[in-house]
Amino acid sequence: MTGKVYLVGAGPGDPELLTLKALRILREADVIFHDDLVSPEILRLVPPEVRVSSVGKRCGRKSVTQAEINSRMIAAAQQGLTVLRLKAGDPGIFGRGGEEIEALVDADVEFEIVPGVTSACAAAASAGISLTHRRSSSSVLFLTGHTSAARTENQWPELNSGGIPDAATLVIYMPGPDYAQLRDRLRAAGVKGDTPCLLVSSASTGSAGTHSATVDKLAELAITPAPNILLVGDVTRAAREAAGAALHQSVPWQQSPLEDRIRPLTV
């Protein structure tokens, strides 16, 4: 008997940003393999009888290899279990979801993808801005600052020919702590030095923070702990105007017993 694997996005950290489907699967799963960045508040929603394993990887240290994660998911599903692969953000955006899908297909294991709120949207929301604007940004480009060990060339080739359009927003996931190098990569890709940008840390959580700069001034920003995301483009100018506005301040998650938090799903 073969079970099923759910590749589920846990969102950026705030448990209230989980989808109803994600929460249902979280309650019904037999075993959960979760990323390191899945918040403790979300993990506290897991029923006590569910087997939970952290398979998190962060830049610079890896507790479990990707091959081992794939092997564990497949082995559990082949035992007939319902497997939840819980990933921070959205499973299809810079989360190695593609590699896990390939492994499941090769093993002939049934799977389903459940999207989650990605960090780009959460970062913009934390800053009180929109990623697009009819007057200043008509496109959004997702990039990653983390490069594969097997690839050393510039992985932003789409920016090298003529630079980015004026009406565009760049979203850089996992920008890393070397902001000087990030500045140099953006400049080499054709981004103007006076382009405004916004570094957002721990988006959607109680410790969220935003730091404004221009591309040329990126190296002057203080290093903040991960997770971080960098927004680059004219839309970030509005963050200064929105700073301190009550409109975009999140209501803190109120801790309460598990059944109180999930009771609405049983209605």
Residues with catalytic function: 35, 57
Torsion angles phi and psi, residue 206, rounded to 5: -65, -15
- CA-nearest of 176, 261, 260, 169 to 218 is 176
Cα(115)–Cα(96) distance, rounded to whole angstroms? 14
Q: Is 135 helix (H, G, I), strand (E, B) or coil?
A: coil
Distance spanning both ends of the chain, measured CA to CA:
32
Select from 58, 50, 61 the least CA-distant residue to 28: 50
Query: In sequence order, what are the residues at sequence separation of 6 or more whose Cβ sits closer than 8 angstroms to the Cβ of residue 213?
Result: 196, 197, 198, 199, 220, 221
Cα separation values, 87 from 17, 126, 138, 235, Å: 13, 20, 29, 28
Q: Which of 71, 120, 62, 113 is nearest to 92 (CA)?
A: 113
Q: What is the CA radius of gyration of the chain?
A: 20
Pairing outcome for strands 82-87 and 31-34: parallel
Q: Which amino acid, 139?
A: S
